Amino acid sequence: MSFASVPLRARRFCRALSVVIACGTTSSLASAADVVPPTLVQDAAPLWPGSPADHDVVVPVLLTVRVDGSVARVEVVESRGADYDRAASVAAAEWRFRAATRDGVPVAARIRAEVRFTAPPAATAPSQSSAAPAAPVPPAPPPAAPAPQAAATPPPVAPASPAPAAPVEVVVEGTLQPPSRGASDYTTPIAELKRVPRKNASDLLKLAPGVYLTNEGGEGHAERIYLRGFDAREGQDVEASVDGIPINESGNLHGNGFADLHFIIPELVHSLRVLEGPFDPRQGNYAVAGSADYETGLTERGLSAKLTGGSYGTERALVLYGPPGQSMHTYAGAELYKTDGFGQNRDARHAAAMGQYEARSGKHTVFHLNGAAYTDDYHSAGLVRADDVASGRIGFYGTEDPRQGGDGSRLQAAADVQTRAGDFGFYQQFFAIRRGMRLRENFTGFLLDTQEAIQAPHAQRGDLFDSHVDETTLGARGFARTEGRALGQKQELEVGYFARGDHVDALRERVAAATGVPYKKDTDLHSDLADIGIYADAALRPSRTLTLRAGARADLFSYDVLDACAVQDVSLPSSSSPPGDASCLDQERGGAHREPDQRSSTASTKLMPRAALLLGPFSNFMFSLAWGQGVRSIDPSYVTQDVKTPFASVESEEGGVVFARSFDALSLVARSVFFRTHVDRDLVFSETQGRSVLGGGTTRTGWTGAVRLTNALIDENANVTLVRSAFDDTHLLVPYVPDIVVRSDTALGADLPFSPFGHTPHGSLAVGASYVGRRALPYGERSDTIFTLDGSAAVRYRAFELTLAVTNLLDTRYRLAEYDFVSNFPATPGAAPTLVPARHFAAGAPRMLFLSLSATFGAGDS
């Protein structure tokens, strides 16, 4: 894991500090420029809760302002009495802002403001009240009883009169991240897009351009990620983290860097940052295609419960809790889920729990404690041969081997602290992760169990892999950041480190189809892995419109690997060295004894420079150039004693432009990016290994366009990616990678035009549309195109919400994943084997309906 995903809370911290500077306070510490706080465009005056007083009453509040400018949450900082507090909250919730921006991009923000109840002038005119958002927090005026003489006067609504004073503090949150590295640095607040049906947290990745997900391993199996021309497998080429805690599993036998995101409860994801390329010195191992960083948080405070029932016996129970009055980063949530699954052999069940507590000490220190637990169990249909489906031997939603499936678990705990002292900000995080995974997959049927001379004669016993991985990870990360002024501009410097140690036990056996017992041990590795890296990142601004962000990162990867099954053959079989059928063999050769195991250790370093040049903004346009190198460490099974570890190195460059503008309550962000990426050792899927193995060099070039449009009514996120990914030597296309990916997420919401029992219900519609072009497959083949629509409709009335979600709205029968390779699933026992490549696929889910009822108590909307 690396700095690719600098902890979000650290970002919040730095961002908050920077805004303090931007707002002209006396603090000298700032981390990033280009942050503009929200500005009021429409207010609503508060109503006197009782009789107007003879002096102003000011209620200080903290407002959370969405990217569409609406107020998501009102927190009373200092009470002026329950009536005033309530009236102030009601008024402030109606205010509209021009959203805060960071580098010209609208972001959610939290600001201090005050609601002012203006006293009537000199006991003559009727009393009136006014709003004063974004005003300095004044010395708290003493609460006062309303003036008796005004008591009889109904409190009229006063025209808007925002106070002209500058804010004293603005805390931008929700889209907080390290400084932008260019046009491919996508930070996406989930906001109303949460209403688009999504199966899990992995699905949120589709909000970033060029992402396509497949899954042939079952509901509990991590999704295979295609990102902007990369086949990143299950995260091997995407550095993934949640709240700064690494998700990639070093040394995982199924894929070094395997990233199972299913433990993340989607409702607790507040925002997602996807950086498509190795352009940030904070990015570390596995950031080949890029990195994905989930920020968790719960904006809807109080206690929420949600029950879902749907097609194919799907049931889900979710509870969320966020103590009212506390930060959205203090929350707890848990879910139980089970499904019978569509088609054959797709049943699954899982449970997850996540919790976090945020505490403050003094003005500048924030602590977080968080933890997560997850467990799952599932079956998988795997891949089926297209010719078997065509012949009717297997149904479209059938399976070749019903023994496929798996289970897994994850426990993690982390703590971090962020503080500042003088001109420096500091951040420190510790994390501990315990992960277990079992996976049973059969890609090739009855093909790989060849007869060896030392084995008793046997027929093919079956190719079901039974892999098991146990991993314990301990790690820490931290940084210090400072800044100063030169050339009339703010200059910044950050240095940081990342340290991670993993102990991994990995075992893979093959299981006989007839008996269900393992007959061969392929791999039995026990690895101690370490990755320690340091980085430096500077932001140099020679002028107001030119920023050079440059830095470098260096990592040392060390391996100590015990292969407990290093000998699987007997060089000189004899009666004194009988081979038997065992897998891991000790033997006698020439009187010398040989144990079956072998230990290997090695270490290597990698230096990765990265830079981004930002120009602008010029009339709402920001231009950027970015370049960087990244790395993917190799699988422990490749480690040889004292042989330098071969890395997969990536070099990426791009040029892009971002247009960001707010039109009153409407904000628009549009991007266009041309990119090129080269990897010297790409991953190539191997059906015989059941995973990807190192292949040759590849280069991809392409273009991405993306749009985010938000206002109070609509939230639209759409993107298009065109890419060509080819091998360096043959210039042939890299198989399986989609060259066209189009995705649109749309959410609409408005109050309904009726108010039963005095309360207005809120309705919403959401649609997610995906199009994936015909993907290149081996042997000059092409896959089918994919077009799917998912939708939902919801009505919220007071504390209750009813949602109907439909996935695959058109009930398209499509192939989610397609592969060409050799397999042998004989139609009848003993039939001649199929040894020529054939088409295989994993079926996409048919139309499914889900009905959810949720209730929220305790704090209402925030």
Partner 1 sequence: MLRALLLCCSAFALGGCVGSTGGDLFEFDAFARGHAGASAPFVNGKGYTVALTRAHVRVGAVYLNRAVPTSVSSNTSCTLAGIYVAEVTSPLEVDALSPEPQPFAASGEATSDTARTGEVWLTGGDVNEPDDPTVILDVAGSVQRGGTSLPFEGRLSIGENRVAPTPPAEPGQRPICKERIVSPIVVDVAPVRGEKLALTIDPRSMFANVDFSELTLGDDGILHFDDDPNTATPASTNLYIGLRATSSVYAIGFEPGAPR
Cα–Cα dist 514/400, whole Å: 14
Total residues interacting with partner 1, rule: CB under 8 A: 52
**Residue 121 per-residue DSSP state:** G
Verify binding: residue 152, partner 1, rule CB under 8 A.
no
> Does 777 help bind partner 1 (rule: CB under 8 A)?
yes
Tokens 């409860």 sit at which residue?
265
Asked if 610 contacts 550 with a C-beta cutoff of 8 angstroms, the reply is: yes
Element holding 13 (H helix, E strand): helix 8-22
d(CA 245, CA 228): 24
- Given CA atoms 416, 420, 425, 426 in this order, what sign does their dihedral have? negative
Q: Are 252 and 527 in contact (CB under 8 A)?
A: no
| Closest to partner 1 by CB, 535 or 819 | 819
Residue type, 36: V
Of 276, 283, 235, whose CA–CA distance to 256 is shortest?
A: 235
Q: Which of 309, 355, 778, 846 binds partner 1 (CB under 8 A)?
A: 778
Q: Which two tokens stand for residue 814?
A: 């499509």
Q: Rule CB under 8 A: choose which of 424, 779, 800, 857 binds partner 1.
A: 779
470, two tokens = 């146990």
Q: Which two tokens stand for residue 342?
A: 């569509």
Q: CB of 168 within 8 A of CB of 137?
A: yes
Of 61-69, 87-95, 105-113, 829-837, which part binds partner 1 (CB under 8 A)? 829-837
Task: Provide CB contacts within 8 A for 568, sequence distance 6+.
Answer: 583, 584, 585
Buried b (16+ CB within 10 A) or exposed e, 388-401: bbeeeebebbbbbb
Is 739 a residue that touches partner 1 (CB under 8 A)? yes
Closest CA to 616 of 33, 103, 31, 98: 103
Does 774 interact with partner 1 (rule: CB under 8 A)? yes
**Would you call 390 helix, strand, or coil by DSSP?**
helix
Tokens of 525: 């590795």
Residue from 257, 408, 773, 844 touching partner 1 (CB under 8 A): that is 773
For position 698 contacting partner 1 by CB under 8 A, the verdict is no
Told to check if 457 binds partner 1 by CB under 8 A, we report yes
Please choose, out of 84-92, 485-493, 729-737, 787-795, the segment that lies near partner 1 by the rule CB under 8 A: 729-737
> Least CB distance from residue 463 to partner 1, whole Å?
13
Closest CA to 686 of 821, 779, 825, 778: 821
Which listed residue (78, 83, 452, 569) binds partner 1 by CB under 8 A?
452
- Name the residue nearer to partner 1 (CB basis): 434 or 724: 724
| Tokens coding 805 | 């979600």
- Strand ranges for 238-364 from DSSP E: 238-242, 245-246, 269-275, 290-296, 302-310, 314-322, 331-339, 348-361
Tell me the backbone φ, ψ of residue 11, rounded to 5 degrees.
-65, -40
50-52-54 Cα angle (round to 5): 145
- Based on CB atoms, which residue is closest to partner 1, 579 or 846? 579
- In the complex with partner 1, the residue whose CB is nearer, 573 or 860, is 573
The pattern of x and - marking residues 523 through 562 that bind partner 1 according to CB under 8 A reads ----------------------------------------
Cβ contacts of residue 138 below 8 Å, gap of 6+? 58, 60, 114
Return the closest-CA partner of residue 590 out of 576, 600, 578. Answer: 576
To the nearest whole angstrom, how small is the minimum distance from the Cβ of residue 572 to partner 1? Answer: 9
For partner 1, the binding residue among 81, 402, 573, 858 (CB under 8 A) is: 573
C-alpha dist (Å) from residue 479 to 295, 419, 534, 548, 649: 19, 11, 9, 20, 25
Nearest to 735 by CA among 774, 688, 694: 774
Residue 722 interacts with partner 1 (CB under 8 A)? yes
Nearest to 249 by CA among 502, 31, 518: 502
Task: Examine residue 740 and tell whether it contacts partner 1 (CB under 8 A).
Answer: yes
Of 184, 202, 256, 460, the residue at the interface with partner 1 (CB under 8 A) is 460
- Applying CB under 8 A, the span of 87-95, 348-356, 449-457, 589-597 interacting with partner 1 comes to 449-457
What is the nearest approach in angstroms of partner 1 to the Cβ of residue 545?
20
Q: Which residue of 453, 590, 592, 758 would you call a contact of partner 1, by CB under 8 A? A: 453
Binding-site string for partner 1 from residue 808 to residue 827, where x marks contact by CB under 8 A and - marks none:
------------x-x-----
Contact status: 832 vs partner 1 (CB under 8 A): yes
| For partner 1, the closer CB: 57 or 723 | 723
724 touching partner 1, by CB under 8 A:
yes
Q: Can residue 733 be called a binding residue for partner 1 (CB under 8 A)?
A: yes
Least spacing, CB of residue 363 vs partner 1, in Å: 48
Which one of 216-224, 326-334, 447-455, 752-760 is the stretch in contact with partner 1 (CB under 8 A)?
Answer: 447-455
For residues 413 and 370, is the Cβ–Cβ distance under 8 A? Answer: yes
| Nearest residue (CB) to partner 1, 480 versus 582 | 582
Q: Does 837 bind partner 1 (CB under 8 A)?
A: yes
Phi, psi dihedrals of residue 175, rounded to the nearest 5° = -120, 35
Q: Which is nearer to partner 1, 586 or 811 (CB)?
A: 586
734 belongs to the binding site for partner 1 (CB under 8 A): yes
Residue span binding partner 1 (CB under 8 A) among the ranges 214-222, 252-260, 292-300, 835-843: 835-843
514 lies in the binding site for partner 1 (CB under 8 A) = no
Rg of the chain over Cα atoms, rounded to whole angstroms, equals 29
Nearer to partner 1, 391 or 543 (CB): 391
Binding-site member from 87, 726, 789, 817 for partner 1 (CB under 8 A): 726
Options 121, 424, 578, 810; binder of partner 1; rule CB under 8 A: 578
Q: Which two tokens stand for residue 259?
A: 């990233």
Find the shortest distance in angstroms from Cβ 776 to partner 1.
5
Binding segment (CB under 8 A) for partner 1, from list 233-241, 745-753, 763-771, 828-836 = 828-836
| Residues between 655 and 674 that touch partner 1 (CB under 8 A) | 672
CB atoms within 10 A of CB 363: 9
Residue with tokens 């039974």: 466
Min dist. Cβ of residue 688 to partner 1 (A): 12
Widest CA span in the chain: 116
Q: Is 459 in the site for partner 1 (CB under 8 A)?
A: yes
- Choices 103-111, 400-408, 452-460, 753-761 (CB under 8 A): range interacting with partner 1: 452-460
22-30, 246-254, 591-599, 719-727 -> range binding partner 1 (CB under 8 A): 719-727
Q: Rule CB under 8 A: say whether 575 interacts with partner 1.
A: yes
730 binds partner 1 (CB under 8 A): yes
The contact set with partner 1 (CB under 8 A) reads 450-460, 573-575, 577-579, 672, 703, 722, 724, 726, 730, 732-735, 739-740, 773-774, 776-782, 785, 820, 822, 829-839
